[in-house]
Structure 1
Amino acid sequence: MRRLGELEAEIMDRFWRWNRPATVREVVDDINLHRSVAYTTVTTVTTILFHKGHLARDRDGRVWLYRATATREAYSAALMEDGLEASEDRPAALARFVENLDDDEIAALRQALLDVGRRAQR
Structure 2
Amino acid sequence: MRLRTNSLGDLERAVMETLWSHGPDLSVRDVMAKLETDGDKELAYTTVMTVLDRLAKKGIAQRTRDGRAWRYTAASTREVLAATALRNTLDSVQADRRLAMMHFLDDASPSELDDLRAALAEVERRHS
Shared fold by TM > 0.5? yes
- TM-superposed CA distance for 1:83, in Å, is 2.2
Distance, in Å, in 2 between the alignment partners of 1:80 and 1:52 is 16
Q: 1:11-30 counterparts in 2 under 5 A?
A: 11-30=15-34
Are residue 118 (structure 1) and residue 122 (structure 2) matched?
no
Length, aligned pairs only: 121
1:4 is aligned with what amino acid?
L
2:13 is aligned with what amino acid?
A
Secondary structure of 1:109's counterpart equals helix
Distance, in Å, in 2 between the alignment partners of 1:18 and 1:107 is 31
Secondary structure of 2:47's counterpart equals helix
Q: What is the aligned partner in structure 1 of residue 113 from structure 2?
A: 106
Unaligned runs of 5+ in 1: none
Return the TM-score normalized by structure 1. Answer: 0.89
2:46 is aligned with what amino acid?
T
Q: What is the aligned partner in structure 2 of residue 31 from structure 1?
A: 35
Q: In angstroms, what is the RMSD of aligned CA positions?
A: 1.5
- TM-superposed CA distance for 1:92, in Å, is 0.7
Question: After alignment, is 59-68 or 9-18 more displaced?
Answer: 59-68
| Greater length-normalized contact order (CA 8 Å, ≥ 6 residues apart) | 2
Secondary structure of 1:32's counterpart equals helix
Distance, in Å, in 2 between the alignment partners of 1:56 and 1:89 is 35
Question: After alignment, is 30-39 or 107-116 more displaced?
Answer: 30-39
1:47 is aligned with what amino acid?
D
1:78 is aligned with what amino acid?
T
The C-alpha deviation readout for 1:18-74, integer Å capped at 9, x for no partner, is: 352211111111222321111111011111111111111122334322101111111
Q: What is the aligned partner in structure 2 of residue 40 from structure 1?
A: 46
Are residue 90 (structure 1) and residue 94 (structure 2) matched?
no
- The sequence identity of aligned pairs, in percent, is 36
Unaligned runs of 5+ in 2: none
Are residue 56 (structure 1) and residue 62 (structure 2) matched?
yes
